[in-house]
């Protein structure tokens, strides 16, 4: 009805679905609404997307690419940990800007459904954490750290979405963010009398070396040697604090 531009119906369906999904606050969006807004009839939808969920997945995928693009845009700050902070903030902002989309992406994930997007988000975070690890700023395995940080990031975003926009307190985000990053980083942390929270420098160095090795393809060791070497490295860096 209003999206009758010259765009191909597939695109019009995507936009219509995204638009309806965005404005209808939580209420279910019917395929008939979508097809009508797109100026198309039902079979067209099912021809292109197979399923209502297929269409929604496509919308989510598009939104996710936008999200990833936003995350990748500002990487080049020299400080990896600072980049992770911005990544966190960007994640939260994305969720608050498009709450419905975000809820579909992260609020309804079920085992068989789609760990795909979550896995991508984890990979993105891990990639950034690898730089921190290579710089010796990481206390734990990048993968574990990425999962942990992302989990907290999602939890905070969901909680912020849940409360009315007027009384959203972003301090919840920054506080949790810094708590997670601090707990994961190899910063001084020192001075604490209780002091077993920081891990030994062996572990930190091993983690750093591991990340550095995987980043640069050193040819000082044969592949079989490297394999064993990495295994030992992993054993060291996985040792309990």
Q: Rule CB under 7 A: which of 119-158 touch DNA? A: none
43 binding DNA? (CB under 7 A): yes
11 binding DNA? (CB under 7 A): no
Using the contact rule CB under 8 A, the part of the chain among 14-22, 38-46, 61-69, 171-179 near a copy of itself is: 171-179
Q: Which of residues 61-120 bind a copy of itself (CB under 8 A)?
A: 78-79, 81, 99, 103, 106-113, 115, 118
Using the contact rule CB under 8 A, the part of the chain among 6-14, 16-24, 58-66, 187-195 near a copy of itself is: 187-195
52 binding DNA? (CB under 7 A): yes
Question: The tokens 């909680």 sit on which residue?
Answer: 159
Q: Which two tokens stand for residue 131?
A: 């730089």
Rounded distance between C-alpha atoms, residue 44 and residue 49, angstroms? 9
- Residue closer to a copy of itself by CB (options 69, 194) is 194
Helix (H) or strand (E) holding 60: helix 52-73
Q: Which of 51, 65, 73, 187 binds a copy of itself (CB under 8 A)?
A: 187
- Residue closer to a copy of itself by CB (options 73, 225) is 225
Q: Are 182 and 132 in contact (CB under 8 A)?
A: no
Rounded distance between C-alpha atoms, residue 123 and residue 64, angstroms? 13
Using the contact rule CB under 8 A, the part of the chain among 11-19, 29-37, 60-68, 229-237 near a copy of itself is: 229-237
42 binding DNA? (CB under 7 A): yes
What does 200 interact with, of a copy of itself, DNA, none (CB < 5 to 8 A by kind)? a copy of itself
Rounded distance between C-alpha atoms, residue 107 and residue 101, angstroms? 9
Distance of CA 5 to the CA centre of its chain: 34
Q: Which two tokens stand for residue 19?
A: 């638009």
Which residues, including other chains, have CB under 8 Å from residue 16's CB and lie 6 or more apart?
3, 34, 35, 37, 38
What does 46 interact with, of a copy of itself, DNA, none (CB < 5 to 8 A by kind)? DNA
Q: Which of 2, 26, 69, 223 binds a copy of itself (CB under 8 A)?
A: 26
Q: SS3 for 136? A: coil
Angle at 142 between CA 238 and CA 215, to 5 degrees: 105
């Amino acid at each position: 009805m209003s999206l009758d531009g010259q765009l191909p119906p597939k695109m019009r369906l995507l936009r219509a679905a995204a638009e309806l999904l965005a404005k209808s606050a939580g209420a279910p969006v019917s395929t008939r609404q979508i097809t009508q807004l797109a100026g198309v009839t039902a079979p067209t939808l099912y021809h292109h997307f197979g399923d209502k969920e297929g269409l929604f997945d496509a919308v989510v995928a598009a939104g996710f690419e936008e999200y990833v693009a936003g995350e990748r845009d500002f990487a080049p700050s020299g400080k990896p940990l600072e980049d992770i902070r911005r990544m966190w903030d960007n994640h939260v902002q994305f969720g608050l800007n498009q709450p419905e989309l975000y809820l579909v992406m992260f609020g309804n994930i079920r085992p068989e459904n789609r760990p795909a997007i979550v896995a991508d988000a984890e990979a993105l975070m891990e990639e950034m954490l690898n730089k921190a690890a290579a710089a010796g700023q990481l206390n734990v395995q990048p993968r574990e750290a990425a999962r942990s940080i992302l989990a907290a990031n999602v939890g905070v975003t969901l909680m912020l979405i849940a409360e009315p926009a007027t009384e959203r307190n972003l301090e919840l985000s920054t506080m949790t963010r810094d708590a997670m990053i601090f707990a994961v980083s190899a910063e001084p942390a020192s001075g604490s009398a209780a002091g077993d929270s920081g891990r030994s420098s062996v572990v930190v160095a091993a983690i750093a070396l591991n990340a550095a090795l995987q980043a640069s393809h050193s040819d000082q060791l044969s592949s079989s040697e490297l394999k064993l070497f990495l295994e030992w490295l992993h054993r060291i860096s996985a040792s309990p604090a």
